[in-house]
Structure 1
Amino acid sequence: MDARTSRTRARLHDAVLELAAREPIVDVTAAAVCRTADVTRDTFYRHTTDPVTLLGDALAVELDDVIGDAPDGPIGVAERRLLQHVAHRADVYRGAMRPVLAAPVRSILEQHLREGLHRYAVAHPEIVPPALVGEDDLRLAAAYAAGGTVGAVEEWLRTGSTDVEHAARAVLAASPSWWLRADDPDPSKTRSTP
């Protein structure tokens, strides 16, 4: 992406995040984004189809920074970083709920979690239960965990809380214990790799 396109995209992202923090995303218009970003409608539609999709794209960029390196650290750290991001953007996420997250926003969040959890399982094969055999099983387990985590995030947003530690403890306590084995210093709880 050239520098001009990158700057325009950043202005559009900043504009939609600003507007979505003030009002529900379903009420944000393309015209409002254009005014805030100081771009034409033609420019807007060269970059996106609608404000909700643009919001999903803007959050995806932030999520790349937040959970992009999940396999490098304990899953509890990655979970807290995700929840810190959601807490930081709580007004935006709450404004994207009717009663659940708008499809583009939910999809981006779930996709990032699914990919991060899959990478984590691949990076830590010693945690994977013997019943999960092969790539398809790992992807299925990651999708299941990601869907549950997004559901938990939606419920947390509904409470109005931004207490990251409380939410992280609840989500990690509800998670299957095998996901947390790599974080556990007790090697007797892990299986050996074949």
Structure 2
Amino acid sequence: MTKRVDPRVQRTRALLRAAVLELATEREPESITIAHVAERATINRATVYQHYRDRDELLLDAMENELAGLVGLVARCPLVVLPRDMPPAFVDILHHVDANAVLYRRMLGPCGSARFINRLHQLVAEQVTLQLVEAGVGSSDSPVVEMRAHCATGAVMGLVTHWLHDAPVHPETAAAEAWQALRPAGGTAAR
């Protein structure tokens, strides 16, 4: 049985999430204070603390929908057994990030949120693990599967972070170049 959440609590949390995301598009996450969020949401600062322990917890909660969208695209993109031709889902990942580039740039930047980065890494690694298990590499608790999942996750996160900060090219161009780098020379991915 699901516990019913008071609609006032839902409205307050939605206000707080919207306020922190607005602020994150205007300034670095580390410079956002609970006072800033409360002022933007037009609520009392103490009310923020009734819902969230700190700014990072609020930022992470506010970014969950973004993360869910990105992770959904990662789930559709073969990152384990790579097809010869780049799948459209690979480009879709970069288009998704591009649609909210300011937020991703801030959250993944040097002044970003470690909790966000860790959560994103965890969620992407879970999807890659599922692909590895499906490909017959091993079970989800296998150290080999975990190592490969985190390696592929690091590649995806490295691509997104580098592209956002240092390689301002169109998403299709970035995806095509990255796909070439991911593909082993002249063959299919090793199982």
Report the aligned-residue RMSD: 2.9
Confirm or deny: 8 A CA contact 1:80 1:165 kept in the other structure. Answer: yes
Mapped to 2, the partners of 1:105 and 1:93 lie a distance apart of 10
Mapped to 1, the partners of 2:49 and 2:89 lie a distance apart of 34
Q: How many residues align?
A: 176
Distance 1:173 1:92, change over 3 A: same
What 5-or-longer segments of structure 2 have no aligned partner?
80-86
Using the TM superposition, give the Cα deviation of residue 14 of structure 1 relative to its aligned residue in structure 2, in angstroms.
1.3
Residue 154 (structure 1) aligns with: 161
Matches within 5 A, 1:1-194: 2=5, 3-68=7-72, 70-72=74-76, 74=78, 76-99=87-110, 101-122=112-133, 124-125=134-135, 128=136, 132-135=137-140, 136=142, 137-159=144-166, 161=168, 163-175=170-182
What TM-score do you get using the length of structure 1 for normalisation?
Answer: 0.74
Confirm or deny: 8 A CA contact 2:19 2:37 kept in the other structure. Answer: yes
- Which whole-Å deviations, capped at 9, do the CAs of 1:43-70 have from their partners, x for residues lacking one? 3123323323322222222221342375
Structure with the bigger percentage of helix: 1
Question: Between the two proteins, what is the percent identity of the paired residues?
Answer: 31
- Which whole-Å deviations, capped at 9, do the CAs of 1:157-190 have from their partners, x for residues lacking one? 112626211222233223255xxx7xxxxxxx89
What 5-or-longer segments of structure 1 have no aligned partner?
182-188
- Which whole-Å deviations, capped at 9, do the CAs of 1:102-151 have from their partners, x for residues lacking one? 311211221221122222333x42xx5xxx44332222211111122212
